[in-house]
Amino acid sequence: MEGFRLLRVYPAFARFWLAEAISLIGDWFSLVAVSVLAITEGEGAGAWSVAVTLAAYEVPMALVRPWAGVLADRFDRRNLLVGIHLGQAALTGLMALLAARGDLQALQLVVVVRSLMSGLDWPARAGATRRLVPPEDLLAASAFGGATWSAMYAIGMSLGGFVASYGAAFALAVDTSTFLTAAALLGTLPAMPTKAEGSFLRAARRSLFDLREAAGLAWRAPDLLGAVTAKTPFGLAGGAAVVMLNVVSDQTAFLGTGAATLGVLQAVRGAGTGLGPLVAERMVRGGVSLGRVYGLVAAVGFTGIACFGWVRTAPLVVAAVFLWGAGTGANWMLSAAEVQRRAPDEAVGRLSGLDMLLVETSFGLSALVGGAVIERWQAGAAAVTSVGMGVAAMVVLRWWIPALQRRTG
């Protein structure tokens, strides 16, 4: 695999990759634990409770993404990443203590605060990648990062289903240790100063101007705008689909318990998100146009979501979840690589922040819609709603917005 060559050739990138991999495993431990609590033990447990939990994870992150991009474009990205991981470790440790005490309401409040902290990570990570590998290797690094995310997702989720049986406090304690380990590794990276160094207050005052400037840059470059918004349709489809995944896992429990079933199905989805980027990368390198590859991965992912809402036998459920993951993973890899390739260095953090603002807000809103639909009707209706929202977003982004750009010049 090309990614392993990058680990050999670029030692700093190897340490960066290892830090993120360790951190990700712990993340999925805690997500399974909190999701299981929401579906089985929280007040008003059920689809709506899961939807609110997912929104608590995603929406706060989305709200800080653009400002995180401003920070990533103005301050040393290594120092930002170390500080973010130390903050996440402290908050996750507090979550473990609250879980041990059984104070679930306070734990959910800390989830929101940790999500705000987590939202600072993505733009700094995106900006760091391009400092650690040359431009000609960015596509390979993005594909390898997507495959790593998927592998850690699969490992973390499958183990998380097992670890959750020992309680949420234990899973969160494991997550705390992974953040501390990642922070130590990130501290060994070379400094990554930016051209726009300055005080925090100055950056905060200029944040709205900087964001507007980055958005204007994307609007004037149709290909860049397409890259920044490419994840949004999958966000609108994915939120409701993840609520379905939690509900179906609890209802079918074909592995004995809902937690174990959820962990394994999430692992299958993770395996799909690992394979999808690799196939998409080979297609692009083989000469298939980027637009066609985007269309194909959308068809694969949305087909998986649609089928998952209706099938109930274990083999078909597994196949549907795998297709869903493959389409999603490929879409994320292509979008991330295009943003890094087309964005100027001084704006890549803000553009990555806008990218994640769109996808995470759409995911959170989709989760709330999906939870409401499942509570009133069933998972099949949520599947139709999920895919419908995703397809509608693709139509708007692929045809209506480009037409508007041409008219406005």
Domain locations in the chain as residue ranges = 2-188+202-408
Distances, alpha carbon 335 to alpha carbons 87, 185, 197, 299, in Å: 28, 27, 28, 16
**264 and 164 Cβ atoms separated by less than 8 Å:** no
Contacts of 276 (CB under 8 A, 6+ apart): 146, 150, 297, 300, 325, 326, 327, 328, 329, 330, 331, 333
CA distance 330 to 281: 8
CA distance 87 to 386: 34
CA distance from start to end of the chain: 43
Q: What is the pLDDT of residues 259-274, one digit of tens each?
A: 778 888 888 888 888 7
Is the pLDDT reported for residue 409 higher than 80? no
Choice between 346 and 244, residue whose per-residue pLDDT is larger: 244
Q: Is the pLDDT of residue 151 over 80?
A: no
Other Cβ atoms closer than 10 A to 290: 17
Residue 18: how many other CB atoms lie within 10 Å: 16
Span 160-181, average pLDDT? 82
Q: What is the pLDDT of residue 405?
A: 58
Instruction: Identify the band that residue 199 occupies on the pLDDT scale cut at 50, 70 and 90.
Output: low
| pLDDT for residue 171 is more than 90 | no
Q: Can you say whether residue 197 is alpha, beta or left, with left for phi > 0 and alpha for psi between -120 and 50 degrees? A: beta
Can you give the pLDDT at residue 57?
Answer: 81
Q: Is 181 exposed, middle or buried (0-12, 13-18, 19+ CB in 10 A)?
A: middle
- Average pLDDT of the residues in 94-99: 87
Return the higher-pLDDT residue of 92 and 224: 92
> Which range, of 84-98, 106-120, 140-154, 372-386, averages the lowest pLDDT?
140-154
Higher pLDDT, 375 or 232: 232
What is d(CA 93, CA 98) in angstroms, rounded to the nearest whole number?
9
In this predicted model, what pLDDT tens digit does every residue of 316-330 receive, in sequence order? Answer: 989 999 999 999 989
Core vs surface per residue 324-351: b (16+ CB within 10 A) or e: bbbbbbbbbbbbbbbbbbbbeebbbbbb
Query: What is the share, in percent, of the chain residues with pLDDT greater than 90?
Result: 13
Q: Which amino acid is at 63?
A: L
pLDDT of residue 394: 85
Residue 226: name the closest of 402, 388, 69, 408 by CA: 402
On the question of pLDDT at 111 being above 80, the answer is yes
Angle at 11 between CA 9 and CA 14, to 5 degrees: 100
Per CATH, the architecture of 2-188+202-408 is what?
Answer: Up-down Bundle (1.20)
pLDDT for 261 equals 83
The 10 Å Cβ neighbour count of residue 392 is: 13
For residue 205, what pLDDT band results from cuts at 50, 70 and 90?
A: low
Find the range with the poorest average confidence among 112-126, 165-179, 394-408.
394-408
pLDDT bracket for residue 1 (50, 70, 90): low
pTM: 0.74
Question: What is the average pLDDT value for the chain, to the nearest integer?
Answer: 82
pLDDT of residue 401: 67
The residues, any chain, with a CB within 8 Å of residue 287's CB and separated by 6 or more, are none
Higher-pLDDT residue of 35 and 402 is 35
pLDDT of residue 44: 60
Q: Is the dihedral of CA 235, 241, 246, 249 positive or negative?
A: negative
228: nearest Cα among 236, 237, 219: 219
CA dist., res. 263 & res. 246, Å (int): 10
pLDDT tens digit sequence for 32-69: 778 777 776 656 667 777 788 788 888 888 788 767 77
- The answer, yes or no, to whether residue 169 has pLDDT greater than 70, is yes
Query: Would you state the pLDDT for residue 358?
Result: 85
Which pLDDT value is given to residue 301? 93
Residue 91 has pLDDT above 90, yes or no: yes
DSSP string, 84-132: HHHHHHHHHHHHHHHHHHT-HHHHHHHHHHHHHHHTTHHHHHHHHHHHH
pLDDT of residue 305: 92
131 and 138 in contact (C-beta within 8 Å)? no
Over residues 290-299, the mean pLDDT reads 86
Q: Is the dihedral of CA 75, 79, 82, 83 positive or negative?
A: negative
